[in-house]
Amino acid sequence: MRCFITLLACLEGIRHVARITIRIDDEIFARLVGQARMAGVGTATFCRDILVRYEGSDPSGFHFRFDEIQMTAIQIFAILVAAVEHQSPAILQQGHDDARRLLIEKGYMDEERRA
């Protein structure tokens, strides 16, 4: 009966719901079930909410938090750079060179951007 109702809803254009199947460890599943219960929702609803938060469309979700941290870090570094530049341009240049070297060593900066 459930399949017929779903098919009928799709035919009438009410809503199309895609389904996915994933395999997860029993331990992870038990945690999901427990967290869903604490949130007062079913496991499937809880998993859908997680996907919405972490795939980027939730304006206050996972990605927003990293953007907020990045914006704060940029502001702090801009203030720090201005203060160091005012005190000693040579130290600022040394810090810039050290940062560039570390970024290249860690693979965060392309070889083309070495100069």
Is the CB of residue 47 less than 8 Å from the CB of residue 32?
yes
pLDDT digits (tens, 9 = 90+) for 74-85: 898 889 989 988
Residue 17 CA: distances (Å) to CA of 9, 48, 115: 10, 12, 52
Q: Which two tokens stand for residue 68?
A: 């907020």
Cα–Cα distance, 74 to 79 (Å, whole number): 9
* Residue of higher predicted confidence among 57 and 114: 57
pLDDT at 60: 65
pLDDT digits (tens, 9 = 90+) for 8-47: 444 455 556 677 788 888 898 899 899 999 999 988 888 8
The reported pTM is 0.43
- Provide DSSP, 72-97: HHHHHHHHHHHHHHHH-HHHHHHHHH
pLDDT at 114: 54
